Structure 1
């Protein structure tokens, strides 16, 4: 599917931030070492908590019971402080696959729920929406607060997987929460087809991502169920283009754009091109799933890595391939970007401090099309 590129949107719509913190709450891999500014979970528990001292050795005991559990899905807490604000704004991007992992990891990390004013759902797949209702329940019960839930209005009845070559639907993903259930559990649904800013203008939530890159052809085996009008049954149809998928971007002074793409069904190259077209800012960091795992999409890895490391000038300072990116993709990115490919995972935290004096040196990126 191909759609025309959107008109350029003035950068002033997205307010730059002077401080940003990212905490990964749900992911399914963990590695180290990490570059400066990235904190492993172990340091968090030893420095931010008050660990128990072993009575015999007198040494702090690592509280492994509080360590984050891995899960097939994604969730990240985005904290931003604008240039004219004293207080940070908290945005939760996706909620993982089920109720247990997000709740456990929030508790284990001691993450405050009260300030999280908005949940942004990247797309309607259960490994990104599964923890939503339990999060809303907990925040509503503990703080008596409703939470804004920012979603694309095109919610499917059901989605499934039909791997090639048979095209047979082998499984259905758990159904995403309905709008009615979200409201009943303490959420206030906001439906957005178009791109918009949230968190006081510091976080951009995209609309549909234009599909302009030839090799990024969507989710192989993606299926959508359409019920009959009388709700007695229905039928499955191919749905490679997950058009409800959206990305999030934050503009850090002196650094450039930090892009969150939870699954990149649209293709991370399409995502980056859209962000550059809209904001004419360099890409500082790319975070999330790149959906390049598995032999059926192996041919996309090289052109993706070539684009990020060679065609995009300047190349991103950091790429954090998580969730559905795949081991082969991490190897290729590490070969191309060196320490710029960061093996982030659940429990890790990233601190980014903006520098207004450096911002004047950041020119618009260029893309050398091949």
Structure 2
């Protein structure tokens, strides 16, 4: 399939929702913790006695079980920046609080991409729309979502996977988005947005032998009034940005399809190297531990060139992070909420590293 994804000159990522917060670990060039941003960039408060920047923790980001990232792209120097929100976290509070903490003007966000219908990725959508309206946004925001919205999803844990112990909060309804002024843009197919600089996938092919769905995933069938198996979350989508002189940055918010399946599809689609992998890898639960070794082996040994950076977030899990750190060393970044990443494209590097494109 041919997709006209334009290379971008600049990419900035701000993590607005994640399970973790990380302030102190040494970070590569281009990465910045929230603490540093507050002390050096934001309009921080000053302690009245010592005249020192105040670390006011009441106004810093909080972690939450979910994911959300602001993606700022600029195709070239003549183009205006495009602001895309990828997922909105799990609840009414986290995203809005953290937007305030890192002082984001939501009026400039023109599109929200929902990676899939799970409330830890869509739960903050309506409160975001309300907050954006309160901030006085003059233009409508587009909500880019899959048309197959389930009535509800639930969890049946192992080892038997036979009893649903909890139903996830229902995802926002299309009418509720529209009533808040959003334009609902339903896509099951792959497409590009943000001036051609952001790719949103369609259905992700399941090709590996070890990434075969999520045991215990359930979906409520309204007609039959019962829970049905739904191990393959087929409405899940990933996003990709091609940074000039670096390669693809992949956003996989939860990797229900399997991160190797995601990467294989991205490489097959674009014939470009993977520079950075961002988001949840869904390797945290005990029944998925066996997937860690083949996943890490593919990313670090089979995939060539291997990614420069991998940011295992949200549902990746501690054992997966340890294994990735062992394989990638400083290339495995302990990313967290409030952190930003600033990538600058380089035309000279593009010509030298990828001469076949010229």
TM class by shorter-chain length?
over 0.9
Structure 1 counterpart of 2:144, from 141, 150, 171: 150
Structure 1 counterpart of 2:74: 81
How far the C-alpha of 1:35 sits from its partner, in A, is: 1.6
How far the C-alpha of 1:112 sits from its partner, in A, is: 1.2
Structure 1 counterpart of 2:195, from 200, 207, 211: 200
Could you tell me how far apart the structure 1 residues matched to 2:301 and 2:65 are? 31
Structure 1 counterpart of 2:183: 188
How far the C-alpha of 1:66 sits from its partner, in A, is: 1.4
Q: Structure 1, residues 267-322: CA drift from partner, whole Å, max 9, x if none? A: 00000000000100000000000000021000000000000000000100000000
Q: Give the secondary structure class of the aligned counterpart of 1:277.
A: helix
Q: Are residues 139 and 311 of structure 1, via their aligned partners in 2, closer, same or farther at CA, if it must alter by over 3 Å? A: same
Question: Matches of residues 108-187 of structure 1 in structure 2 within 5 Å?
Answer: 108-141=101-134, 142-166=136-160, 167-187=162-182
Could you tell me how far apart the structure 2 residues matched to 1:361 and 1:157 are? 51
How far the C-alpha of 1:57 sits from its partner, in A, is: 2.3
8 A contact 1:30–1:346 mirrored in 2: yes
How far the C-alpha of 1:84 sits from its partner, in A, is: 5.4
Q: Does 1:226 align with 2:226?
A: no
8 A contact 1:25–1:347 mirrored in 2: yes
Could you tell me how far apart the structure 2 residues matched to 1:148 and 1:51 are? 32
Q: Give the secondary structure class of the aligned counterpart of 1:298.
A: helix
TM-score, with structure 2 as normaliser = 0.96
> 206-215 vs 141-150, which deviates more?
141-150
Computed over aligned residues only, the root mean square deviation of the Cα atoms, in angstroms, reads 1.4
How far the C-alpha of 1:326 sits from its partner, in A, is: 0.3
Runs of 4 or more, structure 1, over 4 Å off, are none
Q: Any unmatched runs of 5+ in structure 2? A: none
Aligned residues: 352
Could you tell me how far apart the structure 2 residues matched to 1:131 and 1:239 are? 24
8 A contact 1:139–1:145 mirrored in 2: no
8 A contact 1:334–1:340 mirrored in 2: yes
Q: Structure 1, residues 45-102: CA drift from partner, whole Å, max 9, x if none? A: 1112232332332321112111101101000000000025332100000000011000
> 130-139 vs 167-176, which deviates more?
130-139
Structure 1 counterpart of 2:308: 317
8 A contact 1:282–1:363 mirrored in 2: no
Structure 2 counterpart of 1:44: 37
8 A contact 2:107–2:138 mirrored in 1: no
Q: Any unmatched runs of 5+ in structure 1? A: 1-6, 365-370
8 A contact 2:248–2:276 mirrored in 1: yes
Q: Does 1:72 align with 2:94?
A: no
Could you tell me how far apart the structure 2 residues matched to 1:339 and 1:260 are? 20
8 A contact 1:140–1:146 mirrored in 2: no
